[in-house]
Amino acid sequence: MKVLITEYLRINLDTEKWECRRCGHVHGDARDNYKRGLLVYDRDPREIHKPLLDTKMYSRTYSPDPTWCRILEYYCSSCGTLVEAEYLPPGHPPLYDIELDIDALKLQWKDREEVVEEVRGPDLAAEKVKHGRALHAQAHGHDHGHHGHKH
Amino acid sequence: MHDKISAEDQALLDKFLADNKMFLGPDPEIMRNHGVAPRSEAEEAILSKGFDAHRAHHIRGLVNAALSESFQMVNQMGAAPGAKWGDLVTAIYTANGNLAMIAPHGIITFAACAFYPIRFIIKNWMEDPTVGVKDGDGFIHNDARYGGVHNTDQSMMMPLYYKGELICWLSSTIHEGENGACEPGGLPAAAESKYDEGIKMSPFKVVENFQLKRDLVTFLQNSVRDPKLQLEDMKVKLHAVMRLRERIVAILDQFGREALIGTMRMHLEDTEVEVRRRIRELPDGTTRVLQFMDSSLRENIMQKISVAVTVKGDRMIMDFRGTAPQFLNRSVNTNLASFKAALATGLLQNIWPDLPHTMAVLSPIEVITDRNSIVDAEGEMPQAMSLMPLFKACVAWTIPMAKFNYSLPKKYSAIIASQYDQAATFIYGGLTQHGDVTGNFCGDINGMGQGARSHADGEHSVSPVFGFMADSGEHEINEEDTPIIRLGAQRLAKDRIGFGKYRGGMGYEQIATARGSGLWGFMTGCEGSKFPSAQGLFGGYSCPSYQLMKIKGINIFEELKKDPKIVEVFDIVKLMNERPIKGGKYSSNDMGMTFELCSDGEIYMICQGSGGGYGDVLERDPALVMKDVREDLLSPDLAREIYQVVFDDKTLVVDEEATVQLRAEARRQRLARGKPFDQFCKEWVTPEPPAHLPYLGSWDNPKEIYATTPMGQRVKMPADQIQGVFMPNPKDIAIMQLEGEVESLKAQLAACQGDASRRGNA
């Protein structure tokens, strides 16, 4: 039985290991920090959020300040998938972000069927926004063509 | 001294102290408790007999309709810009002050903290012979220390008596804006103490016999910059609450008191039960996220918010220990009650949107903080810009809950990265073209980019982070009322994107100037100019940093008169890089700006931000990449460099095979440059924050809190003994630095003069 934990991580309950969901690579002990099985790279944030203003004219250019912010990129050591992008001040200890009780997880999944692809939930946040917009447009007498909602 | 006194003496002493309390300030007994209070006798009597769920559902529908109607009344009639956009709420509370139901389309946060002042009224004014509570009374309130998001929001609260019995409380709240603070518009980043925050209304009676008391209204009008707005919206809120009262009385007439009391209580208890059931479905364990705020809105200073969510059975604990200490003289603090209200909002908005909007969603969740931290600030500190930590609270759930929720065989909403979480709008104030004094803020705050979802890109400029929907306002109406002229609006900010397999929804540019006022100014209150604010998920990147751009010392209207084509298009990046208006002083600045005068035709430019991205950029469908290029949201260069897509420049047709190869090569490069985690940590982790970084909060140990000022002084405190941080005036620091430069230049000059003199003598 394997339990999906993120887009790129799953826990194999039988072996108690973290695994890559893209290539099946075993990252390490599920009772430990999965990051320990990954490769890490300290990325200058200006390489991702590139300066949009001329750096000769301005010091603030829509890029983060590399002396305040770094991006730690975590890669699967087998397939190179970017598993996490962690934004930290320079030198800050990486976060132990997922620490699950494996015994409880086993118990919880004892009677559940295995899920191999993410089960999507309804897109409720967006639906509520759209409903609210339609209501607002109707109340203010300017239906901006929102699918002709009439209540 | 007497160590022991008799029970009788103790009772006498307690009564004396209670009767002679010198100041009824914010009451920790009320303000630190976000739980639903136990059943009252009436509730117990009704529910213990058994209460039909279908009946409750019927009554709930009627109450919801009544709340919706009163919401619409305020929305239609409110004078405050916020009211017009939907930045308001109406709500109903049980007789003992539990928030039972919120208008379905209202701003949850407002109501999620308005039960605190109602509990204050119940505790202090109900039995007070000089105040009292009776039918027809109405109470006003805006001081967030007694419950509230911030002091711009004013509530009208009314008890509902039916046949002599207090059945429930009703409220209406609007983000009014102006409140007489040291800066116009109600959100003074310049406030250095609570006394700079403008009018402070602890809950007091302003309505008797369903009528406003004009003497008190006049006093309040004198305390703010917009007296007409103050009166008009007090009337609007009162009459909305009175309409709500009529509807509720009709329900009572038709179905009886037991039906309403039982429904409200059942609604609360059922919600709590459902929240616990959902918590039980999650895996046991702890997930964590760190949030970093890079500005106090007066200076750049890094504040950490540490979030750990622990699930154990049906218990959920949100632990914020290790968070930055509060500021003594900066306004970006929040008290705990306001912070919890924002947590309730975020939980409903991002995680469980289908749950009833009531305080019972947060009630079962335990919240742990360090006293005197920036999210649990106390004392004299200002909190006028509490929006900064509060918006962080709204999104605090998204990353850690995604890590709990992803595995579930049944989800209640989509997995989603963080929404953009900054108050990116112009706050303004001064004299209008009609000669009126005013101060408020623009509706652009309501268009924050949505975080990317696990199945789709985020929606552009979707909503405020604190509500499902609020309008971004009509610029034409704003231009009629104020001197603000929009040179650019609602144009999506190209290339400013939270990249990922799915990208965050983008924000829009806002370019504003003023015309026709002798005295006008703007302020902005956002973090994220150095450290990005909206976080990505599962390998998705955050949004970029955002800046405030200015073109000062010009008058765009004069320039356009001289040459109507001087600006080809009002696009921030083009304007700043090409500098088409000669003689202007172009600058790129932090997004936190205290009130600044704007002469006619000077230009101020900001952006709403992007939500965080989701997943690995190399997994983004090339077709989606090219769609963004075709829609002019993404530059071709970034399409290549970030997403590693090969395409023809002219036709934008993707070379699928070359793209696959390029991406495979990008993955190989990752493997080549990445280091094993343990080795990386040995090289990367420092024992404490870097010396150059003004840093507040814990580092490796949540029990030790660092406080570093921009001048470099650093102290380390135990987390349970946090002292607030007192910041030097940024202008004093600038003066000191300039004086240092002057001294240095003087010394150089003297040395030069000495050399010249020696050469002359030689």
Chain B residues near residue A92 by CB distance under 8 angstroms: 290, 685, 689, 699
Q: Does the pLDDT of residue B164 top 60, yes or no?
A: yes
The helix or strand, by DSSP H or E, that contains position B655, with its residue range, turns out to be none
Q: Does the pLDDT of residue B109 top 80, yes or no?
A: no
Q: Does the pLDDT of residue B758 top 50, yes or no?
A: yes
Do the chains contact at A39 and B676, CB–CB below 8 Å? yes
Mean per-residue pLDDT, B583-606: 97
Q: Are B174 and B88 in contact (CB under 8 A)?
A: yes
Using the Cβ of A68 and the Cβ atoms of chain B, whether some distance falls under 8 Å is answered with: yes
Cα A107 to Cα A101: distance, rounded to the nearest angstrom: 10
Cα B323 to Cα B697: distance, rounded to the nearest angstrom: 5
Using the Cβ of B609 and the Cβ atoms of chain A, whether some distance falls under 8 Å is answered with: no
Chain A's closest residue to B106, CA to CA, is A132
Whole-number pLDDT of residue B82: 87
Q: Does the pLDDT of residue B416 top 80, yes or no?
A: yes
Do the chains contact at B586 and A84, CB–CB below 8 Å? no
Whole-number pLDDT of residue B2: 57
Between positions 283 and 322 of B, the ones with CB within 8 A of A are: 283-290, 292, 294, 300, 302, 312
Give residue B216's pLDDT band: very low, low, confident or very high (50, 70, 90): very high
Using the Cβ of A144 and the Cβ atoms of chain B, whether some distance falls under 8 Å is answered with: no
Q: Are B497 and B610 in contact (CB under 8 A)?
A: yes
Q: Among A7-16, A140-149, B36-45, B696-705, which stretch is predicted with the lowest mean pLDDT?
A: A140-149
The CA angle B554-B587-A47, to the nearest 5 degrees, is 145
Between positions 683 and 702 of B, the ones with CB within 8 A of A are: 684-686, 689-690, 692-693, 695, 699-700
Mean per-residue pLDDT, B99-106: 90
Give residue B469's pLDDT band: very low, low, confident or very high (50, 70, 90): confident
Mean per-residue pLDDT, A86-96: 98
Q: How far is CA B589 from CA B297, B455, B530, B604, in A?
A: 12, 36, 10, 11
Q: Dihedrals φ, ψ of B136, to 5°?
A: 95, -5
Using the Cβ of A83 and the Cβ atoms of chain B, whether some distance falls under 8 Å is answered with: yes
Give residue A150's pLDDT band: very low, low, confident or very high (50, 70, 90): very low
Mean per-residue pLDDT, A86-114: 97
Give residue B451's pLDDT band: very low, low, confident or very high (50, 70, 90): very high
Mean per-residue pLDDT, B354-358: 92
Do the chains contact at B547 and A61, CB–CB below 8 Å? yes
Whole-number pLDDT of residue A151: 34
Whole-number pLDDT of residue B475: 87
Cα A52 to Cα A60: distance, rounded to the nearest angstrom: 9
Using the Cβ of A119 and the Cβ atoms of chain B, whether some distance falls under 8 Å is answered with: yes
Cα B456 to Cα B621: distance, rounded to the nearest angstrom: 11
DSSP structure class, residue B123: I
Q: Does the pLDDT of residue A1 top 60, yes or no?
A: yes
Do the chains contact at B459 and A129, CB–CB below 8 Å? yes
Q: Which of B544, B641, B678 sits opposite A64 (nearest CB)?
A: B544
Q: Are B403 and B199 in contact (CB under 8 A)?
A: no
Chain mean pLDDT for chain B: 95
Q: How far is CA B469 from CA B450, B453, B526, B705, in A?
A: 12, 18, 20, 38
3-state secondary structure of A92: coil
Whole-number pLDDT of residue A44: 98
- CA of residue B503 relative to chain centroid, distance: 23
- CA of residue B612 relative to chain centroid, distance: 17
Give residue B18's pLDDT band: very low, low, confident or very high (50, 70, 90): confident
Using the Cβ of A98 and the Cβ atoms of chain B, whether some distance falls under 8 Å is answered with: yes
Q: Does the pLDDT of residue B472 top 90, yes or no?
A: no
Of B211, B167, B172, B141, the closest CA to residue B67 belongs to: B172
Give residue A145's pLDDT band: very low, low, confident or very high (50, 70, 90): very low
Mean per-residue pLDDT, B358-383: 95
Q: Classify residue B632 as exposed, middle or buried by CB count within 10 Å of its CB (0-12, 13-18, 19+).
A: exposed
DSSP string, B739-751: HHHHHHHHHHHHH
Do the chains contact at A96 and B411, CB–CB below 8 Å? no
- Size (chain B), residues: 762
Residue type at B500? G
Q: Among B471-485, B540-554, B608-622, which stretch is predicted with the lowest mean pLDDT?
A: B471-485
Give residue B757's pLDDT band: very low, low, confident or very high (50, 70, 90): confident
Q: Are B333 and B344 in contact (CB under 8 A)?
A: no
Q: What pLDDT, in 10s, does the model give residues B377-415? A: 998 899 999 999 999 999 999 999 999 999 999 999 999
Q: Does the pLDDT of residue B42 top 90, yes or no?
A: yes
Q: Are B141 and B201 in contact (CB under 8 A)?
A: yes
Using the Cβ of A120 and the Cβ atoms of chain B, whether some distance falls under 8 Å is answered with: yes
Domain ranges in chain A are 2-119
DSSP string, B423-490: EEEEEEEEE-TTS-EEEEE-GGGG-BPPPPBSSSPPPTT-B-TTSS------HHHHHHHSSEEEEEEE
Do the chains contact at A73 and B677, CB–CB below 8 Å? no
* Block residue for tokens 């929606």: B459
Mean per-residue pLDDT, B68-79: 94
Name B310's bridge partners.
B286, B317
Chain A's closest residue to B463, CA to CA, is A129
- How large is the C-alpha radius of gyration of chain B? 28
Q: Does the pLDDT of residue B762 top 70, yes or no?
A: no
Q: What pLDDT, in 10s, does the model give residues B247-298? A: 999 999 999 999 999 999 999 999 999 999 999 999 999 999 999 999 999 9
Q: What pLDDT, in 10s, does the model give residues B482-504? A: 999 999 999 999 999 999 999 99
Q: What pLDDT, in 10s, does the model give residues B583-594? A: 999 999 999 999
Q: How far is A150 from chain B (nearest CA, A)?
A: 16
Do the chains contact at A73 and B545, CB–CB below 8 Å? no
Q: Are B113 and B203 in contact (CB under 8 A)?
A: no
Do the chains contact at A99 and B287, CB–CB below 8 Å? yes
Whole-number pLDDT of residue A26: 98
Do the chains contact at B670 and A121, CB–CB below 8 Å? no
Whole-number pLDDT of residue A27: 98
Q: Does the pLDDT of residue A54 top 90, yes or no?
A: yes
Q: What share of chain B is helix, strand, coil (3-state, %, to 5)?
A: 35, 20, 40
Do the chains contact at A52 and B542, CB–CB below 8 Å? no
Q: Which of B414, B468, B699 sits opposite A129 (nearest CB)?
A: B468
Q: Which of B287, B541, B675 sits opposite A97 (nearest CB)?
A: B287
Between positions 208 and 227 of B, the ones with CB within 8 A of A are: none
Whole-number pLDDT of residue B510: 97
Mean per-residue pLDDT, B664-674: 98
Cα B204 to Cα B414: distance, rounded to the nearest angstrom: 43
Q: Are B544 and B612 in contact (CB under 8 A)?
A: no
Q: Are B292 and A89 in contact (CB under 8 A)?
A: yes
Beta strand ranges found along B644-713 (DSSP E): 675-676, 695-697, 704-708
Look up the pTM and report it. Answer: 0.95
Chain mean pLDDT for chain A: 92
Whole-number pLDDT of residue B470: 80
Q: Which of B410, B539, B544 sits opposite A82 (nearest CB)?
A: B539
3-state secondary structure of B388: helix
Whole-number pLDDT of residue B104: 86
Whole-number pLDDT of residue A133: 83
Chain B residues near residue A128 by CB distance under 8 angstroms: 353, 468-469
- CA of residue B209 relative to chain centroid, distance: 36
Whole-number pLDDT of residue A148: 39
Q: Does the pLDDT of residue A143 top 80, yes or no?
A: no
Cα B484 to Cα B469: distance, rounded to the nearest angstrom: 24
Share of chain B above pLDDT 70, in %: 99
Compute the CA torsion angle B44, B46, B48, B54 (nearest 10 deg). -130
Do the chains contact at A118 and B638, CB–CB below 8 Å? no
Q: What pLDDT, in 10s, does the model give residues B231-251? A: 999 999 999 999 999 999 999
Cα B722 to Cα B558: distance, rounded to the nearest angstrom: 54
- Size (chain A), residues: 151
Cα B657 to Cα B636: distance, rounded to the nearest angstrom: 18
Chain A's closest residue to B606, CA to CA, is A62
Of B185, B171, B102, the closest CA to residue B137 belongs to: B171
Whole-number pLDDT of residue B274: 98
